[in-house]
Structure 1
Amino acid sequence: MDTTTIIRNSLLKAISYSTYRNLIDKYEAEGKSSGTEQTQDQVHYTALNQKRYKRLDKTIEIPEDKAQYFASYDKSVCLLVITESWCADAAQIVPVVHKIAECNPKLTMKLVFRDENEELMNLFLTNGGKAIPVVIFLDLEDKVLAHWGSRPSTATQMVAEEKAKNGKLTPEFKEELQKWYNQDKGTTIISDFIKILEEIKDK
Protein backbone atom coordinates (compact mmCIF):
# COMPACT_ATOMS: atom_id res chain seq x y z
CA MET A 1 0.00 0.00 0.00
CA ASP A 2 1.39 3.43 -0.87
CA THR A 3 1.96 6.21 1.66
CA THR A 4 -0.98 8.37 0.54
CA THR A 5 -3.41 5.46 0.84
CA ILE A 6 -2.13 4.61 4.33
CA ILE A 7 -2.50 8.25 5.38
CA ARG A 8 -6.01 8.52 3.94
CA ASN A 9 -7.06 5.31 5.72
CA SER A 10 -5.74 6.75 8.99
CA LEU A 11 -7.46 10.09 8.41
CA LEU A 12 -10.78 8.22 8.27
CA LYS A 13 -10.16 7.24 11.92
CA ALA A 14 -8.80 10.62 13.00
CA ILE A 15 -10.45 12.62 15.78
CA SER A 16 -10.40 16.23 16.94
CA TYR A 17 -8.48 17.46 19.98
CA SER A 18 -11.69 17.95 21.98
CA THR A 19 -12.80 14.37 21.23
CA TYR A 20 -9.34 13.12 22.20
CA ARG A 21 -9.47 15.01 25.50
CA ASN A 22 -12.96 13.66 26.22
CA LEU A 23 -11.67 10.14 25.59
CA ILE A 24 -8.84 10.63 28.09
CA ASP A 25 -11.40 11.89 30.64
CA LYS A 26 -13.36 8.70 30.03
CA TYR A 27 -10.30 6.43 30.25
CA GLU A 28 -9.26 8.01 33.54
CA ALA A 29 -12.78 7.65 35.02
CA GLU A 30 -12.92 3.98 33.98
CA GLY A 31 -9.36 3.11 35.05
CA LYS A 32 -8.27 2.37 31.48
CA SER A 33 -5.83 3.64 28.85
CA SER A 34 -5.82 3.85 25.09
CA GLY A 35 -3.89 1.24 23.12
CA THR A 36 -4.01 -2.50 22.63
CA GLU A 37 -2.38 -3.21 26.01
CA GLN A 38 -3.96 -2.28 29.35
CA THR A 39 -1.03 -2.53 31.75
CA GLN A 40 -1.04 -1.00 35.22
CA ASP A 41 1.66 1.42 34.10
CA GLN A 42 -0.37 2.60 31.11
CA VAL A 43 -3.47 3.12 33.25
CA HIS A 44 -1.37 4.99 35.84
CA TYR A 45 0.23 7.25 33.21
CA THR A 46 -3.10 7.95 31.52
CA ALA A 47 -4.42 9.28 34.85
CA LEU A 48 -1.23 11.26 35.46
CA ASN A 49 -1.28 12.67 31.94
CA GLN A 50 -4.87 13.77 32.37
CA LYS A 51 -3.63 16.21 35.03
CA ARG A 52 -0.90 17.42 32.66
CA TYR A 53 -3.37 17.95 29.81
CA LYS A 54 -5.73 19.90 32.07
CA ARG A 55 -2.92 22.10 33.35
CA LEU A 56 -1.36 22.77 29.96
CA ASP A 57 -4.68 23.44 28.25
CA LYS A 58 -5.09 26.31 30.72
CA THR A 59 -1.51 27.59 30.97
CA ILE A 60 0.20 27.23 27.57
CA GLU A 61 0.42 30.56 25.79
CA ILE A 62 2.01 31.28 22.43
CA PRO A 63 4.10 34.49 22.54
CA GLU A 64 2.50 37.27 20.54
CA ASP A 65 5.13 37.43 17.77
CA LYS A 66 5.03 33.64 17.27
CA ALA A 67 1.21 33.61 17.38
CA GLN A 68 1.25 36.27 14.66
CA TYR A 69 3.51 34.09 12.53
CA PHE A 70 1.10 31.14 12.79
CA ALA A 71 -1.96 33.37 12.27
CA SER A 72 -0.56 34.83 9.04
CA TYR A 73 0.66 31.51 7.58
CA ASP A 74 -1.10 31.27 4.22
CA LYS A 75 -0.62 27.60 3.27
CA SER A 76 -3.23 25.04 4.31
CA VAL A 77 -1.59 22.29 6.38
CA CYS A 78 -3.08 19.37 8.30
CA LEU A 79 -1.15 18.41 11.44
CA LEU A 80 -1.81 14.69 11.84
CA VAL A 81 -0.69 13.58 15.31
CA ILE A 82 0.07 9.96 16.25
CA THR A 83 -0.40 9.55 20.00
CA GLU A 84 -1.65 7.44 22.93
CA SER A 85 -3.19 8.50 26.25
CA TRP A 86 -0.37 6.94 28.34
CA CYS A 87 2.53 8.70 26.59
CA ALA A 88 4.19 11.23 28.93
CA ASP A 89 5.87 13.12 26.08
CA ALA A 90 2.54 13.40 24.24
CA ALA A 91 0.91 14.95 27.31
CA GLN A 92 3.55 17.71 27.25
CA ILE A 93 3.53 18.19 23.47
CA VAL A 94 0.00 17.68 22.10
CA PRO A 95 -1.57 20.64 24.01
CA VAL A 96 1.08 22.93 22.49
CA VAL A 97 0.34 21.65 18.98
CA HIS A 98 -3.35 22.31 19.67
CA LYS A 99 -2.57 25.93 20.68
CA ILE A 100 -0.56 26.39 17.48
CA ALA A 101 -3.41 25.04 15.31
CA GLU A 102 -5.87 27.33 17.09
CA CYS A 103 -3.97 30.37 15.75
CA ASN A 104 -5.11 29.81 12.16
CA PRO A 105 -8.02 27.94 10.52
CA LYS A 106 -5.63 26.91 7.74
CA LEU A 107 -3.71 24.81 10.29
CA THR A 108 -5.97 21.87 11.14
CA MET A 109 -5.10 19.29 13.77
CA LYS A 110 -6.24 15.67 13.74
CA LEU A 111 -5.23 12.83 16.03
CA VAL A 112 -4.94 9.08 15.61
CA PHE A 113 -3.94 6.37 18.06
CA ARG A 114 -0.66 4.59 17.36
CA ASP A 115 -1.84 1.03 18.04
CA GLU A 116 -4.86 1.43 15.73
CA ASN A 117 -2.67 2.71 12.89
CA GLU A 118 0.30 0.36 12.68
CA GLU A 119 0.95 0.92 8.96
CA LEU A 120 1.02 4.68 9.47
CA MET A 121 3.31 4.38 12.51
CA ASN A 122 5.71 2.17 10.56
CA LEU A 123 6.21 5.00 8.05
CA PHE A 124 7.49 7.35 10.77
CA LEU A 125 9.71 5.31 13.08
CA THR A 126 12.37 6.97 15.24
CA ASN A 127 15.63 4.98 15.14
CA GLY A 128 13.55 1.95 14.24
CA GLY A 129 11.17 2.37 17.20
CA LYS A 130 7.52 3.38 17.45
CA ALA A 131 8.21 6.51 19.50
CA ILE A 132 5.34 8.99 19.88
CA PRO A 133 4.03 11.58 19.49
CA VAL A 134 4.74 12.13 15.81
CA VAL A 135 3.26 15.09 13.93
CA ILE A 136 2.88 14.65 10.16
CA PHE A 137 2.51 17.82 8.08
CA LEU A 138 0.14 17.16 5.16
CA ASP A 139 -1.02 19.29 2.24
CA LEU A 140 -4.59 19.40 0.92
CA GLU A 141 -3.94 16.29 -1.18
CA ASP A 142 -2.71 14.31 1.87
CA LYS A 143 0.88 14.45 0.64
CA VAL A 144 3.55 14.37 3.37
CA LEU A 145 5.39 17.69 3.50
CA ALA A 146 7.40 16.96 6.66
CA HIS A 147 7.16 15.18 9.99
CA TRP A 148 8.28 15.99 13.53
CA GLY A 149 8.79 13.91 16.66
CA SER A 150 8.91 12.28 18.94
CA ARG A 151 10.34 15.06 21.11
CA PRO A 152 11.29 18.75 20.79
CA SER A 153 14.79 19.27 19.35
CA THR A 154 16.41 20.16 22.72
CA ALA A 155 14.81 17.17 24.47
CA THR A 156 15.91 14.88 21.62
CA GLN A 157 19.50 16.01 22.20
CA MET A 158 19.17 15.50 25.97
CA VAL A 159 17.86 11.95 25.43
CA ALA A 160 20.66 11.10 22.96
CA GLU A 161 23.30 12.32 25.42
CA GLU A 162 21.73 10.37 28.30
CA LYS A 163 21.59 7.15 26.23
CA ALA A 164 25.22 7.63 25.14
CA LYS A 165 26.26 8.05 28.78
CA ASN A 166 24.10 5.41 30.52
CA GLY A 167 22.83 3.22 27.69
CA LYS A 168 19.22 3.84 28.77
CA LEU A 169 16.87 6.44 30.23
CA THR A 170 16.95 6.21 34.03
CA PRO A 171 13.89 7.12 36.16
CA GLU A 172 15.88 10.11 37.44
CA PHE A 173 16.48 11.34 33.89
CA LYS A 174 12.80 10.90 32.98
CA GLU A 175 11.95 13.11 35.95
CA GLU A 176 14.49 15.69 34.79
CA LEU A 177 12.96 15.58 31.31
CA GLN A 178 9.49 16.35 32.70
CA LYS A 179 10.99 19.28 34.63
CA TRP A 180 12.57 20.52 31.40
CA TYR A 181 9.17 20.41 29.65
CA ASN A 182 7.61 22.40 32.51
CA GLN A 183 10.34 25.04 32.35
CA ASP A 184 10.39 25.24 28.54
CA LYS A 185 6.62 25.89 28.36
CA GLY A 186 6.38 24.78 24.71
CA THR A 187 9.00 27.29 23.49
CA THR A 188 11.14 24.70 21.69
CA ILE A 189 8.11 23.02 20.06
CA ILE A 190 6.93 26.41 18.78
CA SER A 191 10.40 27.17 17.32
CA ASP A 192 10.64 23.70 15.77
CA PHE A 193 7.25 24.13 14.10
CA ILE A 194 8.05 27.59 12.73
CA LYS A 195 11.24 26.17 11.20
CA ILE A 196 9.30 23.33 9.53
CA LEU A 197 6.50 25.60 8.31
CA GLU A 198 9.09 27.91 6.75
CA GLU A 199 10.76 24.94 5.02
CA ILE A 200 7.50 23.60 3.55
CA LYS A 201 5.97 26.94 2.58
CA ASP A 202 6.71 26.51 -1.12
CA LYS A 203 6.38 22.72 -1.36
Structure 2
Amino acid sequence: MQEQQNVITPEVVAQGLTYDGYQALVREAVAQGKTTGLEQSDFLAQVTKDNLEIMQRTYQTPLQQDLVDLVQTVTRPQLWLVLTEGWCGDAAVHVPVLAAIAEQSPNIELRTILRSEQPAVMEAYLTNGGKSIPKLIALNAETLQPLGSWGPRPQVLQEYVLELKQQNLPLPEFIKKALGHSEENNGQALQEEFLHLLPHWIRGCMA
Protein backbone atom coordinates (compact mmCIF):
# COMPACT_ATOMS: atom_id res chain seq x y z
CA MET A 1 0.00 0.00 0.00
CA GLN A 2 2.85 2.37 0.77
CA GLU A 3 4.17 1.95 -2.77
CA GLN A 4 0.79 2.90 -4.25
CA GLN A 5 0.64 6.02 -2.08
CA ASN A 6 4.02 7.12 -3.40
CA VAL A 7 3.12 6.45 -7.04
CA ILE A 8 0.34 9.04 -7.16
CA THR A 9 2.08 12.30 -6.38
CA PRO A 10 0.82 15.88 -6.60
CA GLU A 11 2.81 16.11 -9.86
CA VAL A 12 0.85 13.20 -11.34
CA VAL A 13 -2.44 14.74 -10.25
CA ALA A 14 -1.44 18.09 -11.74
CA GLN A 15 -1.11 16.42 -15.15
CA GLY A 16 -4.67 15.12 -14.97
CA LEU A 17 -7.49 16.53 -17.08
CA THR A 18 -11.08 17.13 -16.12
CA TYR A 19 -13.60 15.04 -18.02
CA ASP A 20 -14.36 18.04 -20.25
CA GLY A 21 -10.63 18.44 -20.85
CA TYR A 22 -10.32 14.75 -21.70
CA GLN A 23 -13.23 14.97 -24.13
CA ALA A 24 -11.57 17.92 -25.81
CA LEU A 25 -8.31 15.97 -26.06
CA VAL A 26 -10.09 13.04 -27.75
CA ARG A 27 -11.90 15.37 -30.15
CA GLU A 28 -8.63 17.07 -31.08
CA ALA A 29 -6.96 13.71 -31.68
CA VAL A 30 -9.83 12.60 -33.92
CA ALA A 31 -9.68 15.86 -35.86
CA GLN A 32 -6.00 15.16 -36.52
CA GLY A 33 -6.61 11.54 -37.51
CA LYS A 34 -4.85 10.32 -34.37
CA THR A 35 -5.55 8.85 -30.96
CA THR A 36 -4.49 10.03 -27.51
CA GLY A 37 -1.17 9.28 -25.88
CA LEU A 38 2.13 7.91 -27.08
CA GLU A 39 0.91 4.83 -28.99
CA GLN A 40 -0.26 5.73 -32.51
CA SER A 41 -1.56 3.67 -35.43
CA ASP A 42 -4.24 3.91 -38.11
CA PHE A 43 -6.28 1.24 -36.28
CA LEU A 44 -6.15 3.12 -32.96
CA ALA A 45 -7.09 6.35 -34.74
CA GLN A 46 -10.15 4.69 -36.29
CA VAL A 47 -11.42 3.14 -33.05
CA THR A 48 -10.88 6.48 -31.29
CA LYS A 49 -13.16 8.11 -33.85
CA ASP A 50 -15.79 5.43 -33.19
CA ASN A 51 -15.34 5.83 -29.43
CA LEU A 52 -16.00 9.56 -29.53
CA GLU A 53 -19.58 8.82 -30.62
CA ILE A 54 -19.92 6.21 -27.86
CA MET A 55 -18.68 8.72 -25.25
CA GLN A 56 -21.33 11.21 -26.29
CA ARG A 57 -24.05 8.57 -25.86
CA THR A 58 -22.90 7.06 -22.59
CA TYR A 59 -22.50 10.45 -20.90
CA GLN A 60 -26.31 10.65 -21.10
CA THR A 61 -26.75 7.37 -19.17
CA PRO A 62 -29.57 7.71 -16.61
CA LEU A 63 -28.27 7.51 -13.04
CA GLN A 64 -30.03 5.48 -10.37
CA GLN A 65 -31.58 7.75 -7.76
CA ASP A 66 -30.26 5.69 -4.85
CA LEU A 67 -26.72 6.12 -6.21
CA VAL A 68 -27.22 9.86 -6.68
CA ASP A 69 -28.47 10.09 -3.09
CA LEU A 70 -25.44 8.14 -1.85
CA VAL A 71 -22.96 10.27 -3.78
CA GLN A 72 -24.50 13.38 -2.29
CA THR A 73 -23.64 12.13 1.22
CA VAL A 74 -19.91 12.47 0.48
CA THR A 75 -18.63 15.20 2.82
CA ARG A 76 -14.86 14.65 2.75
CA PRO A 77 -13.12 15.51 -0.55
CA GLN A 78 -12.33 12.55 -2.80
CA LEU A 79 -10.24 12.51 -5.97
CA TRP A 80 -11.15 9.95 -8.61
CA LEU A 81 -8.11 9.52 -10.85
CA VAL A 82 -8.90 7.56 -14.00
CA LEU A 83 -6.32 5.89 -16.25
CA THR A 84 -7.71 5.97 -19.77
CA GLU A 85 -6.99 6.43 -23.50
CA GLY A 86 -9.14 7.55 -26.40
CA TRP A 87 -8.70 4.23 -28.24
CA CYS A 88 -10.10 2.15 -25.38
CA GLY A 89 -13.66 1.03 -25.95
CA ASP A 90 -14.27 0.19 -22.30
CA ALA A 91 -13.17 3.71 -21.41
CA ALA A 92 -15.61 5.15 -23.96
CA VAL A 93 -18.44 3.17 -22.35
CA HIS A 94 -17.59 3.66 -18.67
CA VAL A 95 -15.57 6.86 -18.14
CA PRO A 96 -18.49 9.15 -19.14
CA VAL A 97 -20.70 7.38 -16.59
CA LEU A 98 -18.01 7.75 -13.92
CA ALA A 99 -17.82 11.46 -14.75
CA ALA A 100 -21.60 11.83 -14.50
CA ILE A 101 -21.58 10.12 -11.10
CA ALA A 102 -18.76 12.32 -9.80
CA GLU A 103 -20.64 15.43 -10.92
CA GLN A 104 -23.39 14.64 -8.42
CA SER A 105 -21.16 15.75 -5.53
CA PRO A 106 -19.12 18.94 -5.07
CA ASN A 107 -16.78 16.84 -2.93
CA ILE A 108 -15.74 14.43 -5.70
CA GLU A 109 -13.26 15.57 -8.33
CA LEU A 110 -12.64 13.32 -11.33
CA ARG A 111 -9.44 13.73 -13.32
CA THR A 112 -8.13 11.59 -16.16
CA ILE A 113 -4.55 10.58 -16.90
CA LEU A 114 -3.30 8.69 -19.96
CA ARG A 115 -2.05 5.14 -19.54
CA SER A 116 0.82 5.64 -21.98
CA GLU A 117 2.04 8.73 -20.14
CA GLN A 118 1.80 7.33 -16.59
CA PRO A 119 3.48 3.88 -16.66
CA ALA A 120 4.34 3.88 -12.94
CA VAL A 121 0.71 4.44 -11.94
CA MET A 122 -0.46 1.79 -14.40
CA GLU A 123 2.05 -0.75 -13.05
CA ALA A 124 0.76 -0.15 -9.53
CA TYR A 125 -2.85 -0.86 -10.56
CA LEU A 126 -2.72 -3.86 -12.88
CA THR A 127 -5.70 -6.18 -13.37
CA ASN A 128 -4.69 -9.84 -13.26
CA GLY A 129 -1.22 -8.73 -14.34
CA GLY A 130 -2.53 -6.74 -17.33
CA LYS A 131 -2.60 -3.01 -18.06
CA SER A 132 -6.37 -2.93 -18.44
CA ILE A 133 -8.18 0.39 -18.59
CA PRO A 134 -10.15 2.30 -17.59
CA LYS A 135 -8.90 2.09 -14.03
CA LEU A 136 -10.34 4.43 -11.43
CA ILE A 137 -8.27 5.04 -8.30
CA ALA A 138 -10.20 6.69 -5.48
CA LEU A 139 -8.06 8.88 -3.23
CA ASN A 140 -8.44 11.05 -0.18
CA ALA A 141 -8.13 14.40 -1.98
CA GLU A 142 -6.26 15.99 0.91
CA THR A 143 -3.64 13.29 1.52
CA LEU A 144 -3.69 11.31 -1.79
CA GLN A 145 -4.07 8.17 0.33
CA PRO A 146 -5.73 5.45 -1.80
CA LEU A 147 -9.25 4.50 -0.74
CA GLY A 148 -9.78 1.80 -3.34
CA SER A 149 -9.96 1.21 -7.08
CA TRP A 150 -12.37 0.07 -9.78
CA GLY A 151 -12.03 -1.21 -13.32
CA PRO A 152 -11.64 -1.96 -16.11
CA ARG A 153 -15.30 -2.96 -16.25
CA PRO A 154 -18.06 -4.31 -13.96
CA GLN A 155 -17.57 -7.93 -12.94
CA VAL A 156 -20.55 -9.22 -14.92
CA LEU A 157 -19.16 -7.61 -18.09
CA GLN A 158 -15.66 -8.80 -17.24
CA GLU A 159 -16.93 -12.38 -17.18
CA TYR A 160 -18.56 -11.90 -20.60
CA VAL A 161 -15.32 -10.53 -22.06
CA LEU A 162 -13.34 -13.46 -20.66
CA GLU A 163 -15.80 -15.83 -22.35
CA LEU A 164 -15.40 -13.94 -25.64
CA LYS A 165 -11.62 -14.23 -25.43
CA GLN A 166 -11.96 -18.01 -25.36
CA GLN A 167 -13.58 -17.87 -28.82
CA ASN A 168 -10.47 -16.44 -30.53
CA LEU A 169 -12.54 -14.01 -32.58
CA PRO A 170 -10.97 -11.56 -35.05
CA LEU A 171 -10.18 -8.35 -33.15
CA PRO A 172 -12.83 -6.14 -34.86
CA GLU A 173 -15.55 -8.73 -34.13
CA PHE A 174 -14.35 -9.12 -30.53
CA ILE A 175 -14.46 -5.35 -29.98
CA LYS A 176 -17.92 -5.05 -31.56
CA LYS A 177 -19.42 -7.80 -29.40
CA ALA A 178 -17.77 -6.66 -26.18
CA LEU A 179 -18.76 -3.01 -26.60
CA GLY A 180 -22.24 -3.92 -27.79
CA HIS A 181 -22.83 -5.98 -24.65
CA SER A 182 -21.52 -3.18 -22.43
CA GLU A 183 -23.66 -0.54 -24.12
CA GLU A 184 -26.75 -2.72 -23.78
CA ASN A 185 -26.11 -2.83 -20.03
CA ASN A 186 -26.38 0.99 -20.11
CA GLY A 187 -24.21 1.61 -17.07
CA GLN A 188 -26.44 -0.37 -14.71
CA ALA A 189 -23.82 -2.92 -13.58
CA LEU A 190 -21.30 -0.14 -12.97
CA GLN A 191 -23.79 1.77 -10.83
CA GLU A 192 -24.67 -1.33 -8.81
CA GLU A 193 -20.99 -1.84 -8.02
CA PHE A 194 -20.58 1.77 -6.92
CA LEU A 195 -23.49 1.40 -4.51
CA HIS A 196 -21.27 -1.12 -2.70
CA LEU A 197 -17.88 0.54 -3.22
CA LEU A 198 -18.66 4.12 -2.31
CA PRO A 199 -19.58 3.49 1.36
CA HIS A 200 -16.12 1.95 1.87
CA TRP A 201 -14.46 4.97 0.29
CA ILE A 202 -16.52 7.34 2.41
CA ARG A 203 -15.47 5.51 5.57
CA GLY A 204 -11.86 5.49 4.36
CA CYS A 205 -11.89 9.28 4.12
CA MET A 206 -13.09 9.45 7.72
CA ALA A 207 -10.21 7.33 9.04
- TM-score scaled to structure 2, two decimals? 0.89
| Equivalent residue number for residue 76 of structure 1 | 77
Q: Matches of residues 116-131 of structure 1 in structure 2 within 5 Å?
A: 116-131=117-132
**Residue type of the alignment partner of 1:103:** Q
Classify the secondary structure of the residue corresponding to 1:74.
coil
| Equivalent residue number for residue 47 of structure 2 | 45
**Residue type of the alignment partner of 2:82:** V
Asked if 2 retains the 8 angstrom alpha-carbon contact of 1:84 and 1:113, the reply is yes
**Residue type of the alignment partner of 2:57:** R
Asked if 2 retains the 8 angstrom alpha-carbon contact of 1:162 and 1:169, the reply is no
Asked if 1 retains the 8 angstrom alpha-carbon contact of 2:137 and 2:149, the reply is yes
Q: Any gaps of 5 or more consecutive residues in structure 1?
A: none
| Equivalent residue number for residue 31 of structure 2 | 29
Structure 2: distance between partners of 1:32 and 1:82: 19
| Equivalent residue number for residue 188 of structure 1 | 189
Work out whether 1:5 is the aligned partner of 2:6. Answer: yes
Deviates more, 1:176-185 or 1:125-134: 176-185
Q: CA deviation at 1:169?
A: 7.8
Structure 1: distance between partners of 2:170 and 2:130: 15
Structure 2: distance between partners of 1:168 and 1:120: 31
**Residue type of the alignment partner of 2:115:** R
Q: CA deviation at 1:47?
A: 0.6
Q: CA deviation at 1:72?
A: 2.1
- TM-score scaled to structure 1, two decimals? 0.91
Asked if 2 retains the 8 angstrom alpha-carbon contact of 1:33 and 1:46, the reply is yes
1:164-196, Cα deviation, whole Å (9 max, x unpaired): x43678644432222222221111111112211
Structure 1: distance between partners of 2:153 and 2:169: 16
Classify the secondary structure of the residue corresponding to 1:85.
coil
Where in structure 1 do 4 or more consecutive aligned residues deviate above 4 Å?
A: 167-171
Classify the secondary structure of the residue corresponding to 1:44.
helix
Change (3 A) 1:75 1:54: same
Asked if 2 retains the 8 angstrom alpha-carbon contact of 1:159 and 1:169, the reply is no
| Equivalent residue number for residue 58 of structure 2 | 56
**Residue type of the alignment partner of 1:184:** N
Work out whether 1:110 is the aligned partner of 2:111. Answer: yes
| Equivalent residue number for residue 142 of structure 1 | 144
| Equivalent residue number for residue 19 of structure 1 | 21
Structure 2: distance between partners of 1:76 and 1:153: 27
Q: CA deviation at 1:74?
A: 2.9
Structure 1: distance between partners of 2:174 and 2:39: 25
Asked if 2 retains the 8 angstrom alpha-carbon contact of 1:34 and 1:85, the reply is yes
Aligned length: 201
Q: Any gaps of 5 or more consecutive residues in structure 2?
A: none
Work out whether 1:178 is the aligned partner of 2:179. Answer: yes
Deviates more, 1:182-191 or 1:107-116: 182-191
